[in-house]
Amino acid sequence: MKKLPKIKILDEKNKILRTKSKEVTFPLPEEDKKRINDMLTYLEMSQIDETREYYNLRAGMGLSYIQIGIPKRIFVISEEIEKGKFERHIIINPKIKSTSEEMVYIEEGEGCLSINRPTEGIVPRHARITIEAYDEDGKLYNIRVREELAVCFQHELDHLNGILFVDRIDPKNPYKNKDKYRAI
């Protein structure tokens, strides 16, 4: 069994998660490059049934630096594109360039590796989003994502601004305006 990288994910009770993360300067220190790789490996291992069960992990697709206690504007996403094959996204100093008017929500509910309790309700998100960001080598690029990946990008972007997905659920009416958005 592959060794799980040592990643300590903070729980929502930790006030650091409410911190607005700071811009990153380049070049990135080697320790950041290693941490980014470790975070991506951790996410991938959490998405593979055998390793998830072996290490007792919750499946996760994205992780932001603030979730491991570091207030830098960095998040990573690893999307399983076919069984055991992943597409890695390293997002540093992201800026939203455009969003779709169409709004969607995750039908079974959004989740977060920092929120270890059941949550009810919908989180309206843009169906498509274009982001400008830097890679780990400081190269600027644009990426346009849609559907679940767009939701994941918006969720991680929120983390960089000290926002948790539960903040976007109306506490009085968790399914408010559900009929106005498309379930995915």
The answer, yes or no, to whether residue 1 has pLDDT greater than 90, is: no
Total domains present in the chain: 1
Residue at 80 is within a domain: yes
pLDDT digits (tens, 9 = 90+) for 158-184: 999 999 999 999 999 999 999 999 999
pLDDT digits (tens, 9 = 90+) for 115-144: 999 999 999 999 999 999 999 999 999 999
> Model-level pTM?
0.96
Edge-to-edge order in the sheet of strand 103-105: 125-126, 103-105, 182-183
How far, in Å, CA of 114 to CA of 154, rounded? 16
Residue at 123 is within a domain: yes
CATH of residue 176: 3.90.45.10
Residue at 8 is within a domain: no
Residue at 45 is within a domain: yes
Going through 45-148 in order, the beta strands assigned E by DSSP cover 62-64, 74-82, 85-99, 103-105, 125-126, 128-134, 140-146
Residue at 6 is within a domain: no
The answer, yes or no, to whether residue 103 has pLDDT greater than 90, is: yes
Instruction: Identify the domain containing residue 130 by its residue range.
Output: 22-183
Residue at 16 is within a domain: no
Residue at 12 is within a domain: no
Residue at 150 is within a domain: yes
Active-site pick, 44, 79, 110, 156: 156
156 is known as an active-site residue: yes
